[in-house]
Amino acid sequence: MCGIVGIQGTTPVNQALYDALTVLQHRGQDAAGIVTIDGETLRQRKANGLVREVFEERHMQRLIGNVGIGHVRYPTAGSSSVAQAQPFYVNSPFGITLAHNGNLTNASELKAELRVARRHINTSSDSEVLLNVLAHELDQQTQNLHLEPEQVFAAVSAVHKKVRGAYAVVAAIIGHGMLAFRDPNGIRPLALGKRDCEHGGVEYMVASESVALNAVGFSLLRDVAPGEAIYITQQGELFTQQCAEEPQHQSCIFEYVYFARPDSFIDKVSVYAVRARMGQKLGAKIAREWEDLDIDVVIPIPETSCDIALEIAHNLNLPYRQGFVKNRYIGRTFIMPGQHQRQQSVRRKLNAIHSEFFGKNVLLVDDSIVRGTTSEQIIKMAREAGAKKVYFASAAPEIRFPNVYGIDMPSVNELIAYGREVDEICQLIGADGLIFQELEDLEDAVRHFNPELRHFETSVFTGEYVTKDVDQAYLDEQNALRNDNVKQAECEDDAHLAMYNEGEA
């Protein structure tokens, strides 16, 4: 999962891009990058690390320009080398820089086509593939240095016809303006914002989540529609067009479960409100199926599940307690690139408050169970803190299948629920009882706030992929690419590209 942002402004945008990326940091902690355009000059800084680590004062001073894009990344496929950090740049036509959130399911096929078109791909990133596809289509639409909105939209339409998978994209075209578009299924989110300037004029911004717009003083206009393209010229003129022939809105439901911040709105829906309703739905199921259990207290596993657990406690008429203290300087564990690192980080990330566990039957609540590593470790911590019995509730259904649209759930062998029933999962994580949310209830929790959302991307629960192009051969290929050892090897192989990609302007 990644976070993207782009601003077409009337004043320097470097600080606003930086601030927006810090708000989107939860979407990726592996690398960060900003590119600004100063006249005909592209200014770039990207490197591995958190936003605050990548951008020092000297870098910010060099990121001159009134238009720019930014990206925070964690590795889905390929390595976590700085060579993979975004935004990417290609010099023809015009000079284009691009940042992408998602994952292409036909990247290998597109690479072969690009070789025929005499375009070179320098990394294993599908985002670089997407950039070159867009650049090639723009090149086909233009004969000179002039670029009309109709040509931009024709290029995006051609991209939609060639590219499959999930992609929310922001790009800046030197000398022309900023472009943003979303895949025809709208799998990954993208919001459009606007700000009126004190000195006159209008500035526009796009970002993965609405909270990034709010953080820098932009007002949310709306979500970019599935298949739609937004083009803002250097003069601040806004053009929009639906560029997909048959858009079908099927956004990723896992955004609401885990990834998005609670203060964001995605597709007109409050993430906070969805999580509260998830708790109401799950609380009702617990009341039906566990009425005989003697539960003393409900304790969330911070932080995503706090709002969910509070509603469960209210529904069950039980005390709600914060039983874990979170170390906020440790990153998300299932985003971490290695299984060993994930296991080691859990106890550094959380510490139990013994008085909330000692002698009690506790119900632990988490947003989901992916590999089961975190759940198992936390249940052990609860028992070590003196809990008599430990029950576990997941606000999401069983995650049984890999995600191919930008979430790092690569292999069925890593997913604890794959091929297992609830009782077996319960035994493996060491709980005294385990309950999962129903998929229908999860979908209803989102649809309740926007009935227009009829379908969702739920492949991690069902194994049904909305792009209709995912087979076992593809899953095997992705498993090989995302293997922890392969990622480490590619990091070492890409070391010679690091200086080039840091691009300190």
User: 5 φ, ψ to 5°?
Assistant: -150, 145
Q: From CA 328, how far away is CA 173, in angstroms rounded? A: 38
Q: From CA 129, how far away is CA 114, in angstroms rounded? A: 8
Scanning the structure block, which residue is given the tokens 């709208």?
A: 186
User: Per DSSP, which regions of 414-487 are E strands?
Assistant: 433-436, 455-457
Q: How far is CA 411 from CA 241, 257, 376, in A?
A: 37, 20, 19
Q: What is the 3-state secondary structure (H, E, C) of 266-316?
A: ECCEEHHHHHHHHHHHHHHHHHHHCCCCCCCEEEECCCCCHHHHHHHHHHH
Beta bridge partners of 266: 269
Exposure string of 382-401, with b = 16+ CB inside 10 Å and e = fewer, is: bbebebebbbbbbbbbbbbb
First to last CA, the chain: 27
Q: Are 240 and 153 in contact (CB under 8 A)?
A: no
Q: Is 405 exposed, middle or buried (0-12, 13-18, 19+ CB in 10 A)?
A: buried
- Three-class DSSP category at 84: helix
Q: From CA 212, how far away is CA 218, in angstroms rounded? A: 9
- Three-class DSSP category at 197: coil
Scanning the structure block, which residue is given the tokens 């599940």?
A: 305
Q: What angle do CA 103, 106, 108 make, to 5 degrees?
A: 105
- Greatest CA separation found in the chain? 76
Which one of 2, 252, 306, 491 is the catalytic residue? 2
Q: From CA 316, how far away is CA 464, in angstroms rounded? A: 34
Q: In the annotation, is 426 catalytic? A: no
Catalytic residue numbers? 2
